[in-house]
Amino acid sequence: MTHLEATPGCPTSDGALQDTDTAQSLRMTVVAALMAALIAVGAYLVIPIGPVPIALQSLFVMLSGLLLAPRWALGAVGVYLLAGALGLPVFAGATGGIGRFFGPTGGYLVGYLPAVLVVSWTVRRRRAGPALMVAALVAGTAIVYLFGVAWLKTVTALPWSKALALGMLPFLPGDAVKIAAALPIARTLRPIVEGAEGKPETENWKLGKGTGASV
């Protein structure tokens, strides 16, 4: 029985695939790190609209879900949270430290992880048109509030009505603005991310109809 041997000096197909996968992983690591940095920058970006200013931190969390595959989206948010836990001033108000997770806003920070996973999984597992993407963003936002308001109530011993009034209701208009802004931003950035993933730009995204990519 004969077998094929690799020609000296020529990479095997397995080796070439491995090199491609390594380069792809490196590119996506860079993209995820950039998204983590944008989330941190978003904590410093505040739009003074109405009585409750709009911080852009959660916008970049949701964009990570729209643009990245689940593991990379989780990685981006995880790196951001780890940086804050280690004391870097990347949380709102230029604060950091592990204590922030045990304070009144700790639930919102922890909620970013399941929220970004749900957003990413939803838009990646289905041919996500604008309606489904909006639904995914609404679900992600609801998850953040589920963790955030519940923890706020626990830490402060407030009744549910007061916790909702302080920790959710004033921020809903700003969340609606961020959801509306996330779709065109994601559509603009998607070709760059797909290039890093080694995939051609999808027609669905060029037409604003979502993506059928899967992981």
Closest CA to 111 of 83, 69, 153, 139: 139
Confidence category of residue 19, pLDDT binned at 50, 70, 90: low
User: Hey, is 112 helix, strand or coil?
Assistant: helix
Tokens of 50: 């109405």
* pLDDT of residue 36 exceeding 60: yes
- Least trusted range by pLDDT, from 17-31, 170-184, 200-214: 200-214
Question: Where is pLDDT greater, at 50 or 96?
Answer: 96
Question: pLDDT by residue (tens digit) across 184-203?
Answer: 999 898 888 877 666 654 44
This prediction's pTM: 0.81
Q: How far is CA 3 from CA 11, 93, 100, in A?
A: 17, 65, 61
Give the DSSP letter string of 18-44: HHHHHHHHHHHHHHHHHHHHHHHHHTT
Domains and CATH numbers, the chain: 56-206 (1.10.1760.20)
The pLDDT value given to residue 205: 43
Contact 215, 124 (CB under 8 A): yes
The pLDDT value given to residue 49: 65
Q: How far apart are CA 204 and CA 212, in angstroms?
A: 8
Question: What residues pair up with 91 in beta bridges, in sequence order?
Answer: 95
User: Hey, is 211 helix, strand or coil?
Assistant: coil
User: Considering the chain, what is the average pLDDT of its residues?
Assistant: 83
* pLDDT of residue 11 exceeding 80: no
Tokens of 76: 């981006």
Q: How far is CA 52 from CA 8, 55, 66, 124, 209, in A?
A: 67, 9, 26, 33, 33
The pLDDT value given to residue 201: 46
The pLDDT value given to residue 126: 65
* pLDDT of residue 33 exceeding 70: yes
* pLDDT of residue 68 exceeding 90: yes
The pLDDT value given to residue 198: 63
